[in-house]
């Protein structure tokens, strides 16, 4: 990274890509000196389920020095969250066996979980 107090950033470039040469919704966007942008993808370029995407941002100052930064991966997963829990009644009781040892008995019924 460079630091130059006398030369402002005059150009930003953004690229949004995926791994393995897959779907690339936005190859290259030159912003000039703008510091923020909102990108609306059309229906043919929405992010694909199961893909991991990352953005690369390049900033260049007036003297021509450029610095590149890459975001962490964003994995797109459109599957619904897994909602589950315990059904009522949830009961437990403490007892002592014939030797005087304390035992706790818990009775629970799960719902919403399944094995794949």
One digit per residue, the tens of pLDDT, for the chain of length 116 reads 556 677 888 999 998 888 777 777 777 889 888 878 888 888 888 888 888 999 999 999 988 889 999 999 999 888 877 778 888 888 888 888 889 888 888 888 888 766 55
Judge whether 114 lies within some domain. no
Judge whether 105 lies within some domain. no
Residue among 21, 72, 80 at smallest CA distance from 49: 80
Judge whether 97 lies within some domain. no
Judge whether 56 lies within some domain. yes
Give the Å distances, CA to CA, from 94 to 65, 87, 90, 99, 110. 72, 21, 14, 14, 21
pLDDT given at position 112: 77
Judge whether 22 lies within some domain. yes
Any idea how long the chain is? 116
pLDDT given at position 115: 58
d(CA 58, CA 64): 12
pLDDT given at position 70: 94
Structural domain that includes position 33: 9-75
69 in Cβ contact with 57 (< 8 Å): yes
pLDDT given at position 69: 93
For the chain, how many structural domains are there in total? 1
* The model's pTM: 0.58
Give the gyration radius of the chain's Cα atoms: 27
d(CA 73, CA 17): 10
């Amino acid at each position: 990274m460079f630091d130059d107090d006398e030369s402002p950033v005059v150009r930003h470039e953004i690229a949004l890509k995926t791994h393995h040469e897959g779907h690339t919704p936005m190859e290259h966007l030159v912003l000039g000196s703008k510091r923020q942008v909102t990108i609306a993808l059309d229906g043919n370029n929405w992010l694909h389920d199961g893909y991991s995407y990352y953005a690369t941002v390049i900033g260049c100052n007036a003297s021509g020095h450029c610095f590149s930064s890459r975001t962490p991966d964003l994995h797109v997963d459109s599957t619904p969250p897994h909602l589950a829990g315990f059904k009522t009644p949830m009961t437990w009781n403490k007892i002592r066996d014939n030797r005087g040892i304390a035992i706790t008995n818990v009775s629970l019924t799960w719902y919403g979980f399944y094995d794949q």
